[in-house]
Amino acid sequence: MITSMILFPLAGFIINGFWTLWAARNGSRVSSRVSGAIATSAMLAAFVSAWLARSQLPASGSTEVEIFRWFTLGSLSVDFKLRLDALSSLFTLVITGVGALIHLYSVSYMEEDEGAGKYFAYLNLFCFMMLNLVLGGTLPQVFLGWEGVGLASYLLIGFWYREEANVSAGQKAFVMNRIGDLGFLIAMFIGYKYSGSLDLATIEKVVLPAGVGTSFVLLVFLACTGKSAQIPLFTWLPDAMAGPTPVSALIHAATMVTSGVYLLARLSPVISQSTTGMTVIAGIGAATALITAIIACFQSDIKKVLAYSTVSQLGFMFVACGVGAFGAGVFHVMTHAFFKALLFLGAGSVIHGLHGEQDIFKMGGLKKKLPVTFWTFTAGWAAILGMPPFSGFFSKDEILHQALVSGSGSVILFSVLLIAATLTAFYMTRLYWLVFFGGPRMDKSKFDHAHESPVAMALPLVVLGLLSLAGGFAGEPVHLPHPEAVRSTPAWIIMVVSVLAAAVGATIAYRRYSAGAVSPEAARDVFRIDSIYSSLFGGGLKATASATQWLEERVVQGLIRLVAAITDLSGNMIRVLQVGSAQAYLLMMIIGLVVMVIYFLKGVAQYGNF
């Protein structure tokens, strides 16, 4: 079952990929319904395999399947093997389950797109690589999946490549992820040096020297900041909204961006050895949660609001890992996958109903026009606010609790997260009200033609809405060690404070945006982080590019031209002698022979006697 889990999406990628190539050669178009049916069926089969594999886990809690010997370097042998335990099993269920729903949603969403076959091939490729990442039994295999999802996300972000902004967004994501990947590689080398193996089961048990342990943790975290969009490598994620909306739901809400949390949880025994490293993780996570929540309050694009919200929620997960509550962080990964995928797909339904409109200040009054979207979006809104009994209530409050009472937690961490939670309630209520309530703020014709999405798009919304409502009752799905509490604050007090904070944020947004006419607000980059990065690194990169161009044009191409000139001259000189006459060639041979005899005789005369 474990092997078939990754083979199904691989088969979908191969079938749709070759079909798309064949259709392009024959000038035909690949149907979204057929290619979508193939891709969705592959994901449903993978989900069934994941479910059966989880039900068959042995009493020891883990199982490994060796597929083949991957490579051998001296005494090092690395197998390509799959490892399934409670942690990887949870991620496989999220990837395949939520992934199947998003594939189904895409069948209608991409129906009129000419590149539907290529799109579904890329989606299956992404899921195949993501499954390799979470099922990998060795660090090289995890890295293979790590790089694979980066490649697939690049292809999907820039899917509509005819627009330059989309291509730039894909390139930005690719480059920023490569910066983080350097940390992964160096950490892998350190793990091998001190454990003598690249197997995760062995590396998880290694005890690193203090300084080395801190370096290892910080390098792993650098990799995570790239994939999971934390400070300083988070600016790619909002730009990645250039891709199709289902891509945002799959990659940037439910799966790829949570791979950093997975890596920290997987290596938690080693991560926990460095107090300094964990303090950095918690601090960066809290700063990311707060800063991106502030930025989200000033966005007008419905997908940009959700993008910054994703970064902020990832900050909550990293704080949980930073204080040692890895189980709480993974719990929030699961609930966040439900409600954020729902919110993104709901946003896609709104955009679809309004024929491409994404500005929330040009919406309004859509509650009755899009009833299914409205009610399911309401479930996602309540879940991200942390309102009981919705799923986000359980996981977010557990993180807030651990941020305060654990030994690595503090009042400062708790306060920062509480402010971020209040801001979350503000910007999500702002979005919710401006989209669905009040009078329409778009052209009358566009409002009149607004319509609910077809069944293939509505069904995933309903399923995710139910999961957003009831998913939290499952409790922490993975029982990882929790930090020892050093403060005795009761959980119910934190729960009440959290709900009140959400209510305050929602109330402020409601009072501001429900009071009559709403005037558009300009979207602002509050902290101008992209501009700062451009100033710090852009100038240096341009100078390096100019120097490289000069070196290439003046030196490299000059040498090439010199070699070409010498070759050309030699050819011309030889060509003079090639006259095509046997008599001429015989004469040249005689002349050459005479020259050789004279040279020989001169040498004999100089050094000896006849």
CA distances from 568 to 160, 559, 564, 574, 577 (A): 47, 14, 6, 10, 15
pLDDT over threshold 60, residue 356: yes
Is 59 or 233 the better-scoring residue by pLDDT? 233
Instruction: Give me the chain's average pLDDT, please.
Output: 89
CA distances from 457 to 102, 350, 469 (A): 9, 11, 19
DSSP summary character for residue 406: B
Is 243 or 97 the better-scoring residue by pLDDT? 97
Three-state DSSP at 256 gives: helix
DSSP summary character for residue 163: S
Amino acid residing at 224: C
Q: In sequence order, which residues have a C-beta less than 8 Å from that of residue 422 and are 6 or more positions away?
A: 501, 502, 504, 505
Angle at 87 between CA 179 and CA 67, to 5 degrees: 80
As a three-state string, the secondary structure of 151-169 is HHHHHHHCCCCCCHHHHHH
Given the DSSP bridges, would you call strands 62-73 and 76-85 parallel, antiparallel or unpaired? Answer: antiparallel
Amino acid residing at 242: A
pLDDT over threshold 80, residue 572: no
Per-residue pLDDT band at 235 (split at 50, 70, 90): confident
pLDDT over threshold 60, residue 100: yes
Q: What tokens does 182 get?
A: 């350097």
Q: How confident is the model over 296-318, as a mean pLDDT?
A: 93
CB 228 within 8 A of CB 137: no
Q: How confident is the model over 22-44, as a mean pLDDT?
A: 91
CA distance 600 to 610: 13
Full DSSP string of 480-519: PPPPPB-S---HHHHHHHHHHHHHHHHHHHHHHHSSS---
CA distance 148 to 297: 33
Q: How confident is the model over 135-164, as a mean pLDDT?
A: 91
Q: What tokens does 161 get?
A: 């490549």
Full DSSP string of 340-363: HHHHHHHHHHHHHHTTT--BGGG-
pLDDT digits 0-9 by tens, 378-414 = 999 999 999 999 999 999 999 999 999 998 889 999 9
Taking the CA atoms of the chain, what radius of gyration do you get in angstroms? 31
pLDDT of residue 581: 73
CB 264 within 8 A of CB 321: yes
Angle at 240 between CA 235 and CA 241, to 5 degrees: 120
Query: Where are the domains positioned within the chain?
Result: 274-523, 528-574, 579-610
Q: Shortest CA distance to 425 belongs to which of 357, 485, 502?
A: 502
**Please, what is the angle between helix 326-353 and helix 302-322, to 10°?**
180
Q: Shortest CA distance to 319 belongs to which of 205, 173, 419, 214?
A: 419
Question: Which range, of 21-35, 297-311, 316-330, 523-537, averages the lowest pLDDT?
Answer: 523-537
Question: Which range, of 262-276, 304-318, 415-429, 474-488, averages the lowest pLDDT?
Answer: 474-488
Return the residue matching tokens 């999946």: 145
pLDDT digits 0-9 by tens, 139-150 = 999 999 999 999
Return the residue matching tokens 């089969």: 45
End-to-end CA gap in the chain: 94
pLDDT digits 0-9 by tens, 241-288 = 888 999 988 887 778 888 999 999 999 999 999 999 999 999 999 999
Is 575 or 537 the better-scoring residue by pLDDT? 575
Amino acid residing at 95: I
CA distances from 588 to 579, 583, 592, 594, 597 (A): 11, 9, 6, 10, 14
Write down how long the chain is.
610
CA distance 598 to 306: 92
Question: Which range, of 201-215, 296-310, 591-605, averages the lowest pLDDT?
Answer: 591-605
CA 493 to chain centre: 36
pLDDT over threshold 90, residue 210: no
pLDDT of residue 62: 85
pLDDT over threshold 50, residue 584: yes
pLDDT digits 0-9 by tens, 498-540 = 999 999 999 999 999 887 656 677 666 667 776 676 666 656 6
DSSP summary character for residue 64: E
pLDDT digits 0-9 by tens, 440-452 = 888 888 888 888 9
Amino acid residing at 370: L
Full DSSP string of 454-487: PHHHHHHHHHHHHHHHHGGGG--SS-PPPPPB-S
Full DSSP string of 180-248: HHHHHHHHHHHHHHHHS--BHHHHTT----HHHHHHHHHHHHHHHHHHTT-TTS-THHHHGGGS-HHHH
Q: Shortest CA distance to 225 belongs to which of 262, 257, 186?
A: 257
Q: What are phi and psi of 63, to 5 degrees?
A: -150, 150
pLDDT of residue 486: 79
What residues does 81 pair with on adjacent strands?
Answer: 66
As a three-state string, the secondary structure of 281-341 is HHHHHHHHHHHHHHHHCCCCEHHHHHHHHHHHHHHHHHHHHHCCCHHHHHHHHHHHHHHHH
DSSP summary character for residue 556: I
Q: How confident is the model over 9-27, as a mean pLDDT?
A: 92
Q: How confident is the model over 228-233, as a mean pLDDT?
A: 89
pLDDT of residue 610: 42
Per-residue pLDDT band at 606 (split at 50, 70, 90): low
Three-state DSSP at 76 gives: strand
Q: Shortest CA distance to 220 belongs to which of 193, 177, 181, 246?
A: 181
Strands (E), 31-176: 62-73, 76-85
Q: Shortest CA distance to 129 belongs to which of 74, 177, 196?
A: 177
- % of the chain surpassing 90 pLDDT: 59
Is 519 or 237 the better-scoring residue by pLDDT? 237
Out of 179-183, 312-316, 355-359, give the one with best mean pLDDT.
Answer: 312-316
CA distance 110 to 537: 38
pLDDT of residue 540: 61
CB 183 within 8 A of CB 222: yes
What residues does 199 pair with on adjacent strands?
Answer: 138
CA distance 91 to 337: 10
Q: How many CB atoms lie within 10 A of CB 405?
A: 21
pLDDT digits 0-9 by tens, 163-185 = 888 888 888 888 888 889 999 99
pLDDT digits 0-9 by tens, 324-334 = 999 999 999 99
